[in-house]
Amino acid sequence: MHAEGAGSPAWSEGNLVRPLIHGATYFARLHEELSALQAGDRVWFTDWRGDGDERLTPDGPAIGELLARLARAGVRGLIWRSHGERVSAPMSNLSNEHLSRQINDAGGEVLLDQRVRLFGCHHQKLFVIRSRIDPSRDVAFVGGIDLSHSRRDDADHLGDPQAVEMDPRYGKQPPWHDAAVELRGPVVADVLELFAERWNDPHPLDRRTPYRMLLQRLADMPRHPKPLPETAPPPPTAGPHAVQLLRTYGVKHPPFPFAPGGERSVAQAYTKAFSLARSLIYIEDQYLWSAEVAAGIAAALEQNPGLNVIAVVPRYPDSDGPLGGPPKRLGQLRAIETISRAAPDRFGVFNLENRAGTPIYIHAKICIIDDTWFTCGSDNFNRRSWTTDSELTCAVIDTTAGEQGPGPGSGASAPLAHRVRRQLWAEHLGFDEDAPRFQNPADGLSLWNAAADALDDWHETGARQPRPKGHVRHHTTEPVSPLQRLWAAPANRFLVDPDGRPRRLRGTTRF
């Protein structure tokens, strides 16, 4: 792994990457792999929030029930300790504690981890499953999907029946868009190494305050994990995809032993990728906040006159109350203004709604550049994810792309990034995935603007005609008044979107 100044993490080649769009797809695959475990197989996972009663399929089982059933075979996990229900709902301290206790009571070892920077959190979401006898069966899952309520939605976007409470405009069963990737090949060992680094951190799992120590004791949690078993050799080559594991770790005291100066390879990779983009940057993100993120995208637009940028974000923050809403909206307003000034005709921001007109909450963290490079992971496009919280994101390149000659190709022969984009656009825009109009990424912004214009006009004229295809609406962030900005700006800077870089880098766009 790489500490500050050590360069970007190495690429792992010979892997097979399978995008899993939607929580229902991911949960179904996770259920299949966990249900196929045999004696001696082992499981490791990390999570931000876990609800033990969340069903992996409509008929079950619940995630806590299944992991408890497998616990004695070797289930180890790290779940964020959280700040507590009263401090930061829906960041669920009790839910995480209950899931941990359920698995531990059955013989596993799942620990609540608070080894983070002040105001930070552990946000990585991963699963590693390794076979005792057949390394070709080894698999890892990485993405933005928590083991929690609201995530099990599909392409119809009717929402998860087991829902979290959100802004009421999302309804009682909020539609939810999310994504993860399934990994096979040598990179599985790299994901497990990342887990082991956190697990083996010698510092206590709880923050060294009497309150945190009491919480850990009340939860019947140890302050230090037990040693991990010896690791096996990496799995064999499985496919044509190169994967780079990108991470964020904030600078903290005591430091992470594996990243004593923090790590910001997520931010560094995006900064480089933006500068190399020529035709399209496509983003699906929960936030799109912060001056630092916006500066890199704006610079790319200024430097490359053929570049277009499409961003898909939620219509409203997940909680948009009088205190929580303005700091979040202010960060997004500033970011969108910065990018728009660079190239107003080559930048579009959109949100999505289901067929009933209910907004779809965008929780996916995906970026596709020029149909050759794409990312999927836990980080959002904000300062917190790039500098403060622990994050894990996979950057993926299809090494067969250079063998296909000029152009993106089509169908199964196209580069993986191209196929991911077509799958997402087919759903959002309401066209067949093989539609020729999806072929050229440079044509994308005009397609999105046309789809959003049609659906916006349909709503404005009273929805008297048949509803247009697709889910796309033009996005406008609700304003923040001058009076609100007086307190929302510092709240955004220090609480909502803090900067975890070393002091010498703060106030710059360098990572």
For residue 161, say if its preceding peptide bond is cis, omega within 30 degrees of 0.
no
Q: Is residue 416 part of a domain?
A: yes
- Range with lowest mean pLDDT among 70-74, 194-198, 305-309: 70-74
Domain assignment present for residue 510? The answer is no
Query: Considering its fold, how many domains does the chain have in total?
Result: 2
Residue ending a domain, among 220, 239, 258, is: 239
Residue 391: name the closest of 491, 488, 285 by CA.
285
Q: Mean pLDDT check: name the lowest of 17-21, 203-207, 311-315, 381-385.
A: 203-207
Q: Which H or E element spans position 348?
A: strand 347-352
Distances (CA, A) of 322 to 61, 256, 319, 412: 39, 36, 9, 48
Q: State residue 217's pLDDT score.
A: 63
Same domain, 362 and 404: yes
For residue 1, what pLDDT band results from cuts at 50, 70 and 90? very low
Same domain, 222 and 127: yes
299 occurs within a structural domain: yes
- Note whether residue 1 is domain-resident: no
Alpha-carbon 206 to chain mean position? 25
Is residue 268 within 8 Å of 10, Cβ to Cβ?
A: no
- Looking at the structure, do residues 291 and 410 belong to the same domain, yes or no? yes
Q: Are residues 465 and 334 in the same domain?
A: yes
Q: What is the CATH number of the domain that holds 219?
A: 3.30.870.10
- Residue 6: what pLDDT? 45
3 in a domain, yes or no? no
Residues 228 and 254 in one domain: no
Asked if residue 356 and residue 226 are part of one domain, the reply reads no
Examine the domain organization and report whether 253 and 232 are in the same domain: no
pTM of this structure? 0.94
Residue-level pLDDT at 256: 96
> CA neighbours within 13 Å on the CB side: how many for 190?
25
What CA–CA distance (Å, rounded) separates 293 from 291? 6
- Give the pLDDT of residue 218: 64
**Same domain flag for 170 and 40:** yes
Residue 499 lies inside a defined structural domain of this protein: yes
Question: Are 226 and 293 within one domain?
Answer: no
Question: Over pLDDT 70: what percentage of the chain?
Answer: 91
Q: Which domain holds residue 173?
A: 11-239
**Same domain, residue pair 223 and 353:** no
Q: Is residue 234 part of a domain?
A: yes
Higher per-residue pLDDT: 226 or 76: 76
Instruction: Choose the final residue of a domain: 217, 239, 261.
Output: 239
Percentage of residues in the chain having pLDDT higher than 90 = 83
Q: What is the rounded average pLDDT for all residues in the chain?
A: 92
Q: For position 436, what pLDDT does the model report?
A: 84
Distance, CA of 437 to CA of 435 (rounded, Å): 5
- For residue 361, being part of any structural domain is answered with yes
Last residue of a domain, one of 223, 239, 255: 239
Worst-scoring range by mean pLDDT, 49-63, 145-159, 197-211?
197-211
Helices assigned H by DSSP within 227-307: 265-276, 291-303
**Closest by Cα among 261, 268, 228 to 246:** 268
The predicted model gives 418-441 an average pLDDT of: 91
Residue 107 has pLDDT above 50, yes or no: yes
Based on the fold, state whether residues 160 and 226 are members of the same structural domain. yes
108-164 pLDDT, tens per residue? 999 999 999 988 999 999 999 999 999 999 999 999 999 999 999 999 999 999 999
In a shared domain, residues 172 and 37? yes
